[in-house]
Amino acid sequence: MSKAPAPKPALAILGDRDLELGPFDAGETDTGPWQHWRLRTDEDNIAWLLFDKKDASANTLDEATLIELNAVLDKIEQERPRGLVIRSAKPSGFIAGADIAQFRAATDPAQIEAMLTKGHAVLDRLDNLPLSTVAVIHGFCLGGGLEVALACDKRIAIDDASFGFPEVLLGLHPGLGGTVRLPRLINPVQAMTMMLTGKTERTRRARSLGIVDAVTKERHVRGAVKAAVNGDLKTHSQGFLDKLLGSAPVRPILASRMRSEASKRAPEKFYPAPYALIDLWVHHGGSRTAMQREEIKSFAQLLVTDTSRNLVRVFFLREKLKGLAKGEFKGRRVHVIGAGAMGGDIAAWCAWHGFVVTLADMKPEPLAGAVKRAAELYGKINHGDRRKLRDALDRLIPDLAGHGASSADLIIEAVPEKLDLKQKVFASVEPRMKPGAILATNTSSIPLEQLREGLRRPERLIGIHFFNPVSRMQLVEVVSHDKVANDVITVARAFLGEIDRLPAPVKSEPGFLVNRALTPYMLEAMVMLNDGVKKETIDKAAEDFGMPMGPIELADEVGLDICLHVAEMLRGSLPDLPLPPKWLIDKVEKGELGKKTGKGFYEWKDGRAVKSGEAGAPPADMADRLILPMLNVCMECLRTGVVPGDEIDDGAMIFATGFAPFRGGPMHYARTRGIADVHQTLTRLAAKYGPRFEPDPGWDNWK
């Protein structure tokens, strides 16, 4: 919500922290006719401009906020203070970027170009003000927010700030001058890398790159601003080598390597934005005017592509899932049972996010291994804060006797996928649970109706199904059953929000949604292998469709034992599933389980599958044989109410399986391809390969 003007010397708008605006002794903040900006001039004749977007929890740029900023600059030019400071009034950060919602309906590149041209004019005006301009940044400074900061003469960051250009994740590149200003401020290769990857840099790294001129504590902001305005703050400028790397003869050489690196992550036919950005820099990087002009054109063209429109859709799917985590989880103690790969990593992730976690197992060796993996994980995701790493490890408590169960607010069972074993764990732990505690299972396939047998309070049982690796897979299935209490569902979702995961509500059915949909995909690949098709060819067919990896490599990644177990569990509810080949069962019995044992379908070295050279061109119908059964199960889950809607269907499959994001999700892909075509193709495949391809009845009535 917007804040009323405050006549106090400092505005306490960040809750428990005071935002430094300067020592105002009299007068009130000038809001003028503005809804989103507040202006004040301090005793040193320095103007402080606060961005406080009305009715929003975070600042984002749109046409209205930029029009108002332009009006504020009118006043600044008239009054000519010694300096201008731009700050955010939001606790969450500086500016989160552009308001993506304003672009969703845009279809005309000319209209988009006109909007961007106006935005450029405002930031150019800020850039060219005849006085010292300073951006003071806390929290996130992303996309358009970073472009505003770059249009200022100097940037002062608070310790917790982060900087980045995430536009590439939306099928775009910066569009308000970022492609122009950043490569001219810092090392151009580093600048291009930031824009090509969407990587976010924390405060200290941003300082070393030259994005930030000073790093300070909140209490020292006024002093830092005075130094900046007085010219006492040394600013970053490019050295000889940086300028050489951005020169006309060198840019094409560097661009060739950039294209090669980009192709490993994002093939050009699926993701055009990185290559458009590289072309911009190569052809126009020597001219600020040309680069700015072409940036606008390129951004407008990218925005209307199917890739960008679908990736923007994925952004809103993420926001929808995030919204399901709203609520309150009051507890601070978690007890995890099972210190294997999943249980140990769940415990480590919870401890990293501030929970006191007791981790139980029957033997000390798995506990030691889990703590070791946690330390390795924290070393990778920590940003140089040794205290945070130490505190997280202190909160992760090995618990051989399982005493932590009695004080836990949430108990997560993560033992092997065996019904009788899980029921024994429940029988042991339920009597020790404190009132109000939740019992969660990380089962990947067993219906909760079976797991709850014997429980005295089945309404406290819920499924919280993580995916491997826990630290990278954002989606978690929240599995309900007909006896679970509504407050348990709400609190479980809120807990996942606390640990930065996306909850996907699903009902209890064998395999739930994700594993249920993935199983026919991977088993069809086994059928092809059985028929003599090369594994590399099968994987290539899926990768050519846009999957992050093929089904054979995915099976190795998940573990062949887990894949086999899930397939056996699902045969009762999906009777047309092909039988797992005998040789697959033999592989599991020999211990060739995939990545975790170093050998499965592929040999694994240094965490990567070793593949032979040429995969060969996949047959024309191979991708449909792999992908359409997945869509068919997604439709079945939608029809039977396993998922509450097609957006949850799409979001879950994208964030849990990596289903080609640029296609917008399996159900969106089906709608885009044409429901009639999907139905006809499944019917044709069923006639050729068997009843496992028979279209689900849901296709007949879905629109």
Positions marked active-site: 465
What does each C-alpha distance from 128 to 61, 85, 95, 124, 379 come to in angstroms?
20, 15, 21, 6, 43
Distance, CA of 235 to CA of 224 (rounded, Å):
12
Q: Residue 510 in contact with residue 573, Cβ under 8 Å?
A: yes
List of residues 6+ apart from 71 with CB closer than 8 A = 32, 33, 34
Q: Residue 132 in contact with residue 273, Cβ under 8 Å?
A: no
Q: Residue 196 in contact with residue 296, Cβ under 8 Å?
A: no
List of residues 6+ apart from 566 with CB closer than 8 A = 417, 444, 445, 511, 515, 519
Cα torsion 376, 382, 384, 389: sign: negative
Q: Residue 694 in contact with residue 686, Cβ under 8 Å?
A: yes
β-bridge mates for residue 131, sequence order? none
Identify the H or E element spanning 296. helix 288-303
Provide the token pair at 193.
């890398």
Q: How many other CB atoms are found less than 10 A from the CB of residue 62?
A: 18
For the CA atoms of 187, 162, 381, 17, the dihedral, rounded to the nearest 10 degrees, stands at 150
Q: What is the DSSP string of 593-655?
A: -BGGGTBSSSEEETTEEE--S---PPPTTHHHHHHHHHHHHHHHHHHTTSSSSHHHHHHHHHH
Provide the token pair at 491.
């609190």
Could you give the angle at the alpha carbon of 516 between the alpha carbons of 682 and 311, nearest 5°? Answer: 75
β-bridge mates for residue 40, sequence order? 48
Provide the token pair at 459.
């309404």
Of 538, 445, 507, 447, nearest to 637 (Cα)?
507
User: How many residues does the structure list for the chain?
Assistant: 703
Peptide bond connecting 366 to the previous residue in cis, omega within 30 degrees of 0 = no
Distance, CA of 586 to CA of 532 (rounded, Å):
18
What does each C-alpha distance from 169 to 115, 166, 177, 476, 658 come to in angstroms?
21, 6, 18, 21, 14
DSSP three-state, residue 558:
helix
β-bridge mates for residue 11, sequence order? 19
List of residues 6+ apart from 192 with CB closer than 8 A = 183, 254, 258, 277, 278, 281
Q: Residue 667 in contact with residue 634, Cβ under 8 Å?
A: yes
Q: How many other CB atoms are found less than 10 A from the CB of residue 77?
A: 12
Q: Residue 546 in contact with residue 601, Cβ under 8 Å?
A: no
What does each C-alpha distance from 641 to 54, 511, 654 come to in angstroms?
38, 14, 19
Distance, CA of 94 to CA of 156 (rounded, Å):
12
Distance, CA of 177 to CA of 435 (rounded, Å):
56
Q: Residue 567 in contact with residue 677, Cβ under 8 Å?
A: no
Distance, CA of 494 to CA of 78 (rounded, Å):
50
